Amino acid sequence: MRKPEKYASSISFVMVLGYSRAIYVEFTNRCDVRTFIRCLIHGFEYFGGVSDVVLTDRMKTVILGTGENKKPLWNPTFEDLAATLGFTPKVCRARRPQTKVKAEIGNS
């Protein structure tokens, strides 16, 4: 039996509704802002609407860093999407895994 020359890796995008804990999962091989936004839109379509607040991990596709006041410096593409779709973006607190436990459970 021949071994494959390359092993494909995939990244899971997990969206969990806070109250019902309904889960949407999409697998992709990229982790750029366009792919993240595509997955986010697919999740909204799956659930049939846009949440008022979207809590995300502290990834570079969403925030570019933090300002002097410790508020996130949003990726402009993501910030435009939030304004267009009408949701309030929030990021998980650093070193506080309990703020994203629902997604972590769905991702295990």
- State pLDDT tens for residues 49-60: 999 999 998 888
Q: Which of 56, 60, 107, 104 is nearest to 82 (CA)?
A: 56
Predicted local confidence at residue 68, as pLDDT: 85
- Residue-range domain boundaries for the chain: 11-106
Predicted local confidence at residue 107, as pLDDT: 47
Instruction: Indicate if the pLDDT at residue 38 is higher than 60.
Output: yes
Q: Which 8-state DSSP code applies to residue 43?
A: H
Predicted local confidence at residue 100, as pLDDT: 54
**Residue 105 CB: number of other CB atoms within 10 A?**
12
Q: Could you tell me the CATH superfamily of domain 11-106?
A: Ribonuclease H-like superfamily/Ribonuclease H (3.30.420.10)
Taking only the tens place, the pLDDT of each residue in 4-37 is 566 667 889 999 998 888 999 999 998 899 999 9
User: The pTM is what?
Assistant: 0.78
Record the tokens describing residue 87, joined without a space.
Answer: 């949701």
Look up tokens 């890796």; give the residue.
Answer: 9
Return the C-alpha torsion angle 12, 17, 71, 83, nearest 10.
90
Predicted local confidence at residue 9, as pLDDT: 79
Phi, psi of 5 (to 5 degrees): -70, -30
Instruction: Indicate if the pLDDT at residue 103 is higher than 60.
Output: no
